[in-house]
Structure 1
């Protein structure tokens, strides 16, 4: 497994076009691999995420079972004349293998928190419709409901650090909520547009099942993985 970091040159028009369309970015990421890994759940898949931490720095992260070649992205959305290849790839397998039960890490996850609802006039037994969670409270609950079967638990705050009686129990924040809508060829009508809401979680977790967490980190969490959701990364706790 490999973890790759690429800095996007947001001053270039091609970079702005890629950043505005998860469909185009998905295609650009897939072009980094001569043979794209399977997407049928039979093994680790390619996951990617855009981080916009500051106005001056936008980063593309990719987790993949094979090493990518981002030469085309440097040409389109990087600094082709700069020294060096324009991206950094780390061997991820050793880090994953070293994860141990009880370890505490900071984490970031961009995800698509959804739930199933019935149509307004639907009858009993009719199929449900997938809908986005709109509020930070429900988005947090979406992640908390999945933590055990994803191999981790989100660290709880000491009572003296909680700002609210309810809803502030965990080391977890939601930020950068983005409703997205785009057309995926060959669709021509707006009713066929892809629509979803992307949110980013930052927090602190404790490893409860290393094997399951490794799968979460390499297979993704939630829906819309092809469009920049599902990738969780870990960082040392400061």
Structure 2
């Protein structure tokens, strides 16, 4: 599947479904191809905070400067791959508002940005191929005797079998609710976990002033069967898991 955004072809669907068994997904997706030999792209590759700034640079003026939740207000999610042999950084950015990439230095752009509108209706039983890069973490509760409201720590999963279990908890078999009994938000679709292709990716980090920022990443590919279209569209729109500001959690489907 590579790094390409979703296409807008209709998924194979079963017999006509009852009203409410369908939900519509609308977003815009940009495909940026940058030259990693250019300092602008090179810095984004080295520094996760810089990559976040590159992604957000496409959306000037939509929200007030300094707004804390600017990314989620504009529905911005992203994912990237790098081809070191070709010296190309392939960045996919999804948003609920139009993007403007004129702030990216011309010398850093290897190909003109491709921008497309995705408008797609999903129905119960539709099968779609997917790819996602996730930040698989588990929460460790604070030690006994900690002050009230002490936050637990997030520990990354580093073994593929643990990442697969993390992802499986977010699947939603037919008839199951959108939120699992343990509070995990599900994706509105099921998948055969034995057929998932899973690959651990290099961690990304940021130097000062974000010295503690180290993000574990894993790529997961497979085939979804939609079980709850409304929840599925919410997962496509909002992403899954943590570190969504750092190019994790975007579900690309085709």
By the TM > 0.5 criterion, same fold?
Answer: yes
Question: What is the CA-CA distance between 1:58 and the residue it aligns to?
Answer: 3.2
Contact 2:71/2:245 (CA < 8 Å) preserved in 1?
no
Question: 8 Å contact 2:74–2:97 — kept in the other structure?
Answer: no
Q: Could you report, residue by residue, the CA deviation over 1:180-219 in whole angstroms, capped at 9, with x for unpaired residues? A: 321353x5xx4xx212201111111111111111111111
The equivalent position to 1:110 in structure 2, one of 133, 141, 159, is: 133
1:131/1:24 CA distance change after superposition, 3 Å:
same
Which residue matches 1:65? 96
Q: Secondary structure at the match of 2:100?
A: coil
Q: Which 4+ stretches in 1 moved above 6 angstroms?
A: none
> For residues 241 and 57 of structure 2, what CA distance do their matches in structure 1 show?
23
- CA contact under 8 A between 1:15 and 1:76: conserved in structure 2? no
Distance 2:29 2:91 in 1: 11
Question: Quick one: distance in 2 between partners of 1:53 and 1:153?
Answer: 31
Match of 2:190 in 1: 153
Instruction: Give the distance between the partners of 2:71 and 2:53, measured in 1 at CA.
Output: 19
* Cα distance, 1:131–1:100 mapped onto 2, change above 3 Å: same
Maintained 8 Å contact 2:139/2:155: yes
Structure 2 portions without partners, runs of 5+: 1-26, 173-185
Count of residues in correspondence between the two structures:
207
Matching residue of 2:245: 226
The equivalent residue for 1:28 is 54
Contact 1:177 1:200 in 2 (8 A): yes
Unpaired runs of at least 5, structure 1: 157-168
Query: TM-score, length-normalised on structure 2?
Result: 0.73
Alpha-carbon contact 1:23-1:184 (below 8 Å) kept:
no
Q: 1-side partners of 2:41 and 2:218: how far apart?
A: 21
Which structure shows the higher helix fraction? Answer: 1
The residue number in structure 2 matching 1:161 is none
Deviations 1:15-47 (A, max 9, x none): 111111121111121111123567389756200
TM-score where L is the length of structure 1: 0.78
| Shift, 1:74, TM fit | 5.0
Specify which of 29, 32, 36 is matched with residue 10 of structure 1.
Answer: 36
Question: What SS does the corresponding residue of 1:102 show, helix, strand or coil?
Answer: coil
Describe the SS at the equivalent of 1:34.
coil
What residue is the counterpart of 1:140 in the other structure?
Answer: 164
Q: CA deviation at 1:226?
A: 0.5
Answer whether contact 2:40 2:105 (CA < 8 A) is retained: no
Q: How does 1:41-80 map to 2 (within 5 A)?
A: 45-52=75-82, 55-56=85-86, 57-75=88-106, 77-79=108-110
Query: Quick one: structure 1 residues 88 and 74, their matched pair in 2 at CA, closer, same or farther if it must change by over 3 Å?
Result: farther
On the 8 A contact 2:160/2:200 being kept in 1, the answer is: no
Distance across 1 between alignment mates of 2:70 and 2:108 = 30
